[in-house]
Amino acid sequence: MRKLIVEEWLSLDGFIADKEGNLDFFTTIDTSDVNKYSDHDQLKFLETIDAILLGRVTYELFVDFWPTATTGVEIIADRLNEIPKVVFSNSLTKAPWGKWPGARIINGDVVEAITKLKEEPGKDIVLWGSISLAQSLMQANLVDEYHLRICPVILGGGKPLFASIAEKINLTLLATKQYAPGTVLLHYQPAK
């Protein structure tokens, strides 16, 4: 069965957006490091993925940038753009992706839809951003791994990733990696 991986950028105090709902806290970190945080590692990770899941809001943020990005600016651009995407939305009727194939739209019961996706043959699946969708999948125990990129910033409030978790989820640490600007990758799976 395919794994569902939730990958999120978080402040040190656990927020995915600041008090005004802005997501730019991780883009303001010094990117002078030639590794640009984790781009080379992210490119390797994307080779293990053959589906990207996005909620409507995250899709709208991504589609304004990624379809026109080039590998000269963003090393992961071509790989990210060629991977099939699924957008969960009850309002969109189409989800173009520039010159790349458009995203498939799924509406209705996300838990049922993602359960079916996980049962299909293929590589793993990643969910980026899409906090409401991520929280629904966490509550339904569908998340197989968490890739949490902790940024060296304390927001003091905002939108927490784990706000709606009804029951404790014990996790097992699989890996950690520190990147030069102070960003840390924490890779967990739910404890068995």
CATH of the domain at 105: 3.40.430.10
The whole-number pLDDT of residue 77 equals: 94
| Mean pLDDT, 10 residues at a time, the chain of 192 residues | 95 92 70 58 95 96 94 92 97 96 95 96 95 92 95 92 85 92 92 86
Between CA 36 and CA 113 the distance in angstroms is: 34
Q: Which domain does 101 fall in, by range?
A: 4-183
Type of residue at 33: D
| Residue 190 domain flag | no
- pLDDT the model gives residue 126: 98
Domain-embedded: residue 116? yes
Residue 144 lies in a domain: yes
Whether residue 149 is contained in a domain is answered as: yes
The pLDDT assigned to 34 comes to: 41
Sheet strands side by side (includes 171-178): 104-106, 85-88, 49-55, 124-128, 4-11, 145-151, 184-190, 171-178
- pLDDT of 190 reads 95
| Residue 9 forms part of a structural domain | yes
What is the rounded CA–CA span in Å between residue 143 and residue 111?
11
Which pLDDT does position 61 carry in this prediction? 92
pTM of the predicted protein model:
0.91
Residue at 191 is within a domain: no
How many domains, in total, are found in the chain? 1
pLDDT of residue 179: 85
Identify the pLDDT of residue 91: 95
